Structure 1
Amino acid sequence: MINLTINGQKVQAEPGSTLLQAAASIGVKIPTLCHHEALEPAGICRLCTVELFDGRRKRFVTSCNHPVREGVEVWTHSEAVLKHRKMLVELILSRCPENAFVRDLAAQYGLERPRFQCDQDNCLLCGLCCRVCELMGPRAITFAGRGTEIEVTTPFHCVSDDCLACGACAAVCPTGNIVMEDAGDEIVMKIGGKETRRAPKQKCAECGRLFAPSVFLADVGRRLPGAVQPAEDAPKICPDCARQVFARKMAMGQD
């Protein structure tokens, strides 16, 4: 075990774990925006920054991707850390001043309106959507542009045929900038209000109900053990019918 000190409290942490995880193990909550347990830490938003003393000097580090080290001292809410964190939140507020999530975050630091002026958007540039899309496989969305022009979008700003319409990006987006809409017999994905994918739904072979994007189900079929033909191996029945089929099979087995 690794021994360190967090806010004056002695802590033992597993080798390879992060400062964020070590703090959470003693009930210390460090705010994050770009962190998600399903994804590798990236340290993009910098909101999880803490102050660390390694025996030689104090410095700021991002706790989500900084590994625990023997004997270090960490302060998660020192005056210097809070000043740094408040500045980051103010910059985020200047970018997304009308977003409810951002306004709630800003209120925690006593911020009502930012001192800075910039182009307003509903995207924090946290990168969660891009990273989860990469995890799912298609890499259908990514960062594009530079400086103040950077944004999350599809290649060439076009409707992306690579998108699985799985909704993972919408699920992790903290501001609602990415949405997954049910359009009857289709699923529509939108980024910043712009349509990026329109995918037909699969009809359940049991009940006939449309239940999920067929392109996503084909990808699921491709990932199943022993799958050969994605279209043929894709799930053909909805979750409700699948549970009923499973229950019938269990009942027959018990009889």
Structure 2
Amino acid sequence: MSEALDNIKLSNEQIAWRAAQDIHDGAYVNLGIGFPEMVAKFQPEGREAIFHTENGVLGFGEAPAAGEEDWDLINAGKKAITLKPGSAFFHHADSFAMVRGGHLDVAILGAYQIAENGDLANWSTGKGGVPAVGGAMDLVQSAKRVAVITEHYTKKGDPKLVKRCSMPLTGVGCVTRVYTSLAVVDIEDGRFVLKEKLAQISLEDLQAVTGAELLVKGDIAELKVPAL
């Protein structure tokens, strides 16, 4: 089933675009290393988020053009960043005081697995994985809203949305919304609730690549994104 869906699923940029639409104006936002960093490219017109990186910068901007990097200015993923007017630098410890103090409105991370009760697994000790849980453990327990952007299933066709995580947990009961390559799913009262899906996929086919039951409450909106 997953192979048949590969031709209609959203790209990573399209998933990131959809997640960006739910960030309110003036929100303080931390973006996870890698794929979630794309979210910063797609702020809706008329809205501006203040992006935080746990190595000690608040208010950074888009990535610089190739050849114009200043490697003293990087995010937690060691990617070059630019600064917006009013940006601030601070000690690593102060950065985590902001996180643990509950001052971030949104944290957006990637995932290996998300359980229907909101548990998140997004690190691994295996080869090629993120080598340690790092700041993600603090972020998911402290941010006011935790969202995940991810493929709906792995390259092997295994579901990423599961009944219970089998991989090491980053956080317990922390995720409230998941943006995938096929759908937008909320977590409510320990269950997956389907909010949006691509028009090209049936509910039955979506359920077949999901590792736990998808509840439907009312109408399911069409997941619409631009061609990026």
State the TM-score, normalized to the length of structure 1.
0.26
Between Structure 1 and Structure 2, the one with more helix by share is 1
Structure with bigger gyration radius: 1
State the TM-score, normalized to the length of structure 2.
0.28
